Amino acid sequence: MHYWRTRLRGLGIYAFTQAPTLGVDTQPTGVGAYVSSAPPHQCIRLASQFCGTLVHDDEGIILLVFKTYSYFERTKDSMEIRKVGVIGCGLMGSGIAQTCAQAGYETIVREVAQDFLDKGMARIQGAWDMMLQKGKINEEQARDYKNHLRGTLDTKDLADCDLVIEAVIENMEEKLRLFPALDNALKPEALILSNTSSLNITQMGAVTKRADKVCGLHFFNPAPVMKLVEIVRTISTSDETVETVRAFAKSLGKTPVVAKDTAGFIVNFLLIPYLLAAIRMYENGLASKEDIDTAMKLGCGYPMGPLTLLDYVGLDTTLWAAEALYEEFKEPLYAPSPLLRRMVNSGMLGRKSGRGFYEY
């Protein structure tokens, strides 16, 4: 028998149970005692969503009869994650770091320059300030999130991380320089994950001495909000790595899907041709940008049109993804259009630059 101690991430709620070592589908019986600073309605919601029946005693302690461990467990085929590193504090890196800190992980984010780090940390703090103003979190939670996050300019500060997620520029040469440096800096058992949206992760793992501990974990923008993550498995990635990353993703409140390491994975393999077709339609004068977006929103029920989505994703990111897909498959539908290249070369990258297909 073993005692299991698990946190409801980000809410200061802890569970203590006595149960045998568990596999993924095991459904133990027993009682977990929770001591919480979270509002009761949040406890009740989380209990009903993840665990089972909720009972209060006279001292205000929340008791829970567990139905399943499918959310909380660390399976026998996975390792425990306590400290997370994030490389890059840009739009995606800061969102990933924010997500990990909110989930209760000790999180350290590394940048190459102090001004980049300051900008990213300010973006995260601004998000928490907004959540506090809207009543989505209380002051205690805001302090707790902040206490779980710190920045650095030194890769050596990541040495004791259990898992590191790189979110640097979508450029293979840059990633191939980074991965050996991480391999040398991290402890041998640490996992190295890439947030790339389309680049070859097998190639990244091959420049390390731990290819079995390398895989993709592709978040979507904005990372704290979007529920999906893609786990990308290379031919060298071990089962333990996949299961550890799957459990980690679920602990962040995400829904993971697993894809093979082919360009575009699942989402971009399907999405990029659609976006490129919209650019070609606009470039060839077949319809106005407003009508293209309106048609897809009202005709297909999409939340936004393709040209608005391109501005949101970033035209440079879309170009890099399209180039990776075309390089691998050599299919015309993946070939970037001349207009997309010209816009990126002109610095028209979408919302992040203030101008793309629309002005912001």
Q: Which residues are catalytic?
A: 197, 218, 230, 268
Task: For residues 71 and 246, give the distance between their C-alpha atoms in angstroms, rounded to a whole number.
Answer: 11
Which among 152, 151, 157 is positioned nearest to 182, based on CA atoms? 157
Vertex 267 angle, CA 261 and 272, to 5°? 105
322: tokens are 């399209």
